[in-house]
Amino acid sequence: MGRLRSIEAMLKARKPGHSLPQGLYNDPQTYEFDLRAIFARSWLMAGFEIELPKPGSYMALTVGPWPVLLTRDRSGRLHAFHNTCRHRGAQICPDGKGAAARLVCPYHRWAYELSGELAHASRMPADFDPARRSLGPIHIETLAGTIYICLADDPPDFAPFREAFAPLLAPHDLANAKVAFECTLVEKGNWKLVIENARECYHCPTGHPELSVAFPTGASAHFDPDEEGRTEAFNTRIAALGLEIGPVEGAWWQAIRFPLNEGCVSMTPDGKPSVAKLMCPTGDGDIGSLRWAVEPNSFCHATGDFLFMFSAMPTAPQETVVTAKWLVHKDAVEGRDYDVERLIALWNGTNFQDRDLVENNQKGVNSPGYRPGPYSPDAESLLMRFVDWYCVRAQAFIDEAGPV
């Protein structure tokens, strides 16, 4: 309870509209708290349905220190489980993707169906009941081709997110996509600093000059209308095409379709499409970018030609693993319809630039001279939204734990 008392004191000390007290960015106790108060209780974007393309497919990933397993069973239904054997707890599948008729623990060869039931366990006594040793389930939801998981017994209501956001994402036809490239990057910074950086573009004009070619770095909040009226004209044109625009939002998610800079139709170094075979051919792919973000740790951008996913997972008090994925139409042929290096150039370069910014931010936050500073309501409104959400969720966890 001493840990909760310390964290509650820091939450109460935080000035509205300011960055967090130092200990919330670098204390090992805060890291452990965040895992249980935030990551164990939130919907997390795990990936895409097409990453489990057929019955027998599986995908293993790690949430903080916790191994998780997604499967597609023989009937085609998706499941999520704790990736731990019901015998003595060994991790069943290493992180990554694969296919198998059954899941077999590498330790003592207990075997499980893709739907989670224990199928085989040798040399067990006569009164052993395999029905009581199925894999531990995790909540899973799908939305227009995306997959979300929640480790909590009682997860936040997912229905409002699905109802509001599915119409925006559906035209991007993720059922007919494929992952063209995936990579991970280790950042020596607290996960909240990584996400704070990802929730604002205050730093973009100088930190990401290449991104600024296509991305409206001067926009505020939900990419609010600009003075020249470009956003209003864009919205009129997009509505005429029959596409939803937004913004839509809930406590832990937000989404909007917004215009790119003048003359740009994709988020590439020159603003030109990087994939000839479009994912969303509506308007010849000139449909701006559909951006959505899910607290605590992900965001995506979907243009007419590809989709980019960003996910940040804490692995230590001052270490975060960033996973990036690029999706293209399943019929797009590498070398003919797209070049991988050009496809990933802008966002991959941005990720490396952000890594350097985050690591530098962490060094400064660790200084005894660090004092929380004020955010810009215009340039950092989505960052403020994230930090406020974090504080509310953290305090709610403490309140549920009882008096500290």
Question: Model confidence over 4-33: pLDDT tens digits?
Answer: 999 999 999 999 999 999 999 999 999 999
Query: Which of 347, 365, 383 lies at the terminal end of a domain, its last residue?
Result: 365
CA pair distance 395, 7, nearest whole angstrom? 9
pLDDT > 90: what percent of the chain? 94
Angle ∠(54,56,59) on CA atoms, nearest 5: 90
Q: Is residue 402 part of a domain?
A: no
Instruction: Give the per-residue pLDDT at 310.
Output: 98
* 303 in the same domain as 242: yes
CATH number of the domain enclosing 215: 3.90.380.10
Same domain, 200 and 298: yes
Domain boundary among 111, 126, 150: 150
Would 348 be classed as within a structural domain? Answer: yes
**pTM score, whole prediction:** 0.96
CB 82 within 8 A of CB 90: no
Mean pLDDT of 251-275: 96
Residue 22 lies in a domain: no
Q: What is the pLDDT of residue 9?
A: 96
Within this chain, do residues 140 and 225 fall inside the same structural domain, yes or no?
Answer: no
Considering the domain boundaries, does residue 64 fall inside one?
yes
- Give the SS3 label for residue 15: coil
Looking at this protein, which amino acid is placed at residue 384?
M
pLDDT at site 223: 63
Give the burial string for 237-267 (b: 16+ CB within 10 Å, else e): ebeeeebbbbbbbbebbbbbbbbbeeebbbb
pLDDT value of residue 231: 87
399 located within any domain: no
pLDDT tens profile 25-61: 999 999 999 999 999 999 999 999 999 999 999 999 9
In a domain, 396, yes or no: no
Is residue 392 in some structural domain? no
Number of domains composing the chain: 2
Q: Verify that 126 and 60 share a domain, yes or no.
A: yes
Q: Residue 15 falls within a domain, yes or no?
A: no
| 48 and 125 inside one domain | yes
Specify the CATH number for the domain of residue 138: 2.102.10.10
Greater model confidence, 60 or 3: 60
In a shared domain, residues 171 and 77: no
Same domain, 209 and 115: no
Q: Which of 150, 182, 216 is the last residue of a domain?
A: 150
* CB crowding 82-102: b at 16 or more within 10 Å, else e: bbbbbeeeebbbeeebeeeee
State how far the Cα of 273 lies from the Cα of 279, in Å rounded to an integer. 11
Question: Do 105 and 230 share a domain, yes or no?
Answer: no
Q: Which residues contact 373 (CB under 8 A, 6 or more apart)?
A: 18, 19
Residues 274 and 314 in one domain: yes
Distance, CA of 378 to CA of 372 (rounded, Å): 18
What confidence tens digit (pLDDT) does each residue in 198-219 have? 999 999 999 999 999 999 988 7
- Are 175 and 63 found together in one domain? no
Select the more confidently predicted residue: 310 or 224: 310
My answer on whether 228 and 332 are in the same domain is yes
Report how far residue 154's alpha carbon sits from residue 282's, in angstroms, rounded to the nearest whole number: 39
**Domain that residue 139 falls in:** 44-150
pLDDT tens digits along 303-359: 999 999 999 999 999 999 999 999 999 999 999 999 999 999 999 999 999 999 999
Same domain, 119 and 243: no
